[in-house]
Structure 1
Amino acid sequence: MHRLGYIVSDGFQLMALATQAVFEMANHLAGRPCYDLACYSAAGGLVMSSSGIPLSTRALGAATQADTWLVAGVLDPLAHEPDEAVLKLLRRALRHARRVAGLCTGSFVLARAGLLDGRRATTHWAHAAALQARHPRVRVEPDRIHVVDGPIWTSAGMSAALDLALALVDRDLGPEVATGVAHRLVMPQRRLGGQSQHAELLRVAPKSDRIQQALEHARTHLKQPLSVETLAEVARLSPRQFSRVFTAETGSSPARAVEGLRLEAARLMIEQSRHPLDVVARETGFRDRRHLREAYLRKFGVPPQLSRRSARGAGPAGTDGR
């Protein structure tokens, strides 16, 4: 039985509690009570969420224990000062618990307790720079869905906490159960930790259906040549008109947007599979591995091989938390 303790404080975000559905469904699919959940706060009693909904909690005490602690985030982490009882428990948990997780801006609480010093971590993209500035000893990775560094787990913002919860289930019960949970919760995909917080289609954000259709065609046909003429035909526009409208709506040229989609797909393959770079290049529409490497370096600032090693979770001591 895995005992999970959620730590909340006034102004916590309810989205953190959505992760409890992941563990509830894991119990259901496993056919046995694999997870036991409880919510805690420094003093116990009712704690008000940022949306005004109260939550009944247990008080933290010297004898309070859990296998995994999960700290909920707040809307403004810079204005939030964690209770000393919470910080003491987290420092003790690093020695006695199996794992400690910061959900969204819960990473700030872990950093305040000193748990992230010298470690890799992430948080909501809008607060990543502030986390790095306030805690310079933390190795902030601002564009990760979640990061595992030894016993410390941190997630990006909002829905990324669900991905971290699924990763916990994967670690505890195996990928088949985790995938089954994602399917039951109608999650479109299981995003692994190395995946970017920003999908390319969201970044480009076209305004019209025609440009959206062209981009969707490109996303699903990356292996094929994707000339302006081809995309213009999908959008039912002339090539000249398509280029003009595309740039006006997205702020990017068609060629640059297609390269972004290809790089996003390539990064997922690199981080989540063992395919050689020749295969990755071919499947995502690059001429060869050299072309892929040049574009990858230009976009992400690191070579594909380093990105692959980082995604496998090697921390400073060469551990991935297993």
Structure 2
Amino acid sequence: MGDSRRMPDTSPPPDQSQPRLRIGFLLAPRFTLSAFATFVDVLRLAADDGDGSRPIRCRWKVLSTDMAPVQASCCARIEPDERLGDPARFDYIFVVGGLIEGGPGLSSEHATFLRRAAQARVPLGGLCTGVFALARLGLMDDYRCCVSWFHHQDFLAEFEKMRPVSDQIFVVDRDRLSCSGGVSAAHLAAFLVDRHIGGAVARKSLSILMIDEPMQGDRPQPGLPLELNARDPLVRRALLAMQQNLQAPLPIARIARDLGVGRRKLERHFNADLGIPPADASIRIRLAQARMLLTRSDRTVTRIAEETGFCDASHLIRVFRESEGITPDLWRQQSQGVENLA
């Protein structure tokens, strides 16, 4: 009888000298851990068969000037893997952003490294608010970039001449990549895995992370809570544009132009999906925000009118009474009375 004992595996390990995807990361001080972790986990699961986590098909490195740990906004610390070196050894370099205010930002050495990467035509990317860092260095000039709806106004305030995309989960514009943060980082990573390794591997990675399927970059961002449950992607993107400009509502013609369609086409899509025209949807969104502010804050009606895009308090009171049958102040009193009884 032959020996039934398991013999040790003496076959050579898989060739790790030629990964198909090589990514370097620069972590900004107080970076967002979730965006970094979900992106890296897609790479980790795509790099090996099963859940082996060996960096075979792709590799990733956290880069540093001094090898000191970098603290995330949640206070966790990440140890760098290696010093900056030659950016051309990577297929992509991503900046992982975090808190916009209160941190020192990227160092001058990081800035020099990123500019060298751009000169070497290494594609650059920003995860979460990482695109802010790239834009501050002039590396997003003449590029489209993705910014979370939550930071849309912050971006406009700092970069007046740029118009960020805040109605998509990620944007790939030539050799610049950016995403809105959170789980969108996983979908951007899956996009790269699909491009360099294969769609089946990308789907496997997402499935293990309990994400149903890859999403394309033009998938609308989950925005502020909406009363209007739109199914049409064009309508959802228009609604998000309305949400992102509550204080200074955009004309419907401007929204249509920004979405690359005519006003009449946008109106047809709204009527077919929601049964109301875009202008009525804009009013309903602003009234929903006004009700929320009446319930959860002590702001005056005048202040709420300013923050929700009404001309003045009288305008808000008139529109509110037409919708609710009572004035905003009386609605607030009744809402607070119901809460006190609960």
Encode CA deviations 1:147-178: one digit per residue, 9 max, x unaligned.
Answer: 01111000002221111111111111232221
Q: Find the aligned partners of 1:162 and 1:109 in 2 and give their Cα distance.
A: 20
Indicate if the aligned counterparts of 2:267 and 2:278 stay in contact, CA closer than 8 A: no
Uncovered stretches (5+) of structure 2, i.e. residues with no partner? 1-18, 238-264, 283-342
Q: Find the aligned partners of 1:57 and 1:3 in 2 and give their Cα distance.
A: 16
**Is 1:291 paired with 2:273?**
no
Judging changes above 3 Å, is the alpha-carbon distance between structure 1 residues 294 and 29 closer, same or farther for their aligned structure 2 residues? farther
- Report the residue type matching 2:146 in the other structure: T
**Is 1:149 paired with 2:173?**
yes
When normalised by structure 1's length, the TM-score is 0.62
Q: CA deviation at 1:88?
A: 1.3
1:1-322 alignment runs, 5 A limit:
1=19, 2-15=21-34, 16-29=36-49, 33-58=56-81, 60-64=83-87, 65-77=89-101, 79-198=103-222, 203-204=225-226, 252=227, 257=228, 260-264=229-233, 291-292=268-269, 298=278
Indicate if the aligned counterparts of 1:117 and 1:137 stay in contact, CA closer than 8 A: no
Q: CA deviation at 1:289?
A: 10
Q: Find the aligned partners of 2:232 and 2:67 in 1 and give their Cα distance.
A: 48
- Report the residue type matching 1:25 in the other structure: L
- Matched residue SS, 1:70: strand
Judging changes above 3 Å, is the alpha-carbon distance between structure 1 residues 136 and 60 closer, same or farther for their aligned structure 2 residues? farther
Give the number of the structure whose alpha-carbon radius of gyration is greater: 2
Judging changes above 3 Å, is the alpha-carbon distance between structure 1 residues 115 and 137 closer, same or farther for their aligned structure 2 residues? farther
Q: CA deviation at 1:43?
A: 2.4
Judging changes above 3 Å, is the alpha-carbon distance between structure 1 residues 160 and 84 closer, same or farther for their aligned structure 2 residues? same
- Report the residue type matching 1:5 in the other structure: G
Report % sequence identity.
Answer: 25
Uncovered stretches (5+) of structure 1, i.e. residues with no partner? 205-251, 269-287, 302-322
Q: Find the aligned partners of 1:168 and 1:162 in 2 and give their Cα distance.
A: 10
When normalised by structure 2's length, the TM-score is 0.58
Q: Find the aligned partners of 1:142 and 1:18 in 2 and give their Cα distance.
A: 20
Judging changes above 3 Å, is the alpha-carbon distance between structure 1 residues 196 and 55 closer, same or farther for their aligned structure 2 residues? same
- Matched residue SS, 1:3: strand
Which region of structure 1 is more displaced relative to structure 2, 158-167 or 55-64?
55-64
Q: Find the aligned partners of 1:289 and 1:143 in 2 and give their Cα distance.
A: 16
Which one has a larger percent helix, Structure 1 or Structure 2?
Answer: 1
Indicate if the aligned counterparts of 1:125 and 1:157 stay in contact, CA closer than 8 A: no
Q: CA RMSD in A?
A: 3.1
Q: CA deviation at 1:124?
A: 2.3
Judging changes above 3 Å, is the alpha-carbon distance between structure 1 residues 135 and 53 closer, same or farther for their aligned structure 2 residues? same
Q: Find the aligned partners of 1:81 and 1:103 in 2 and give their Cα distance.
A: 14
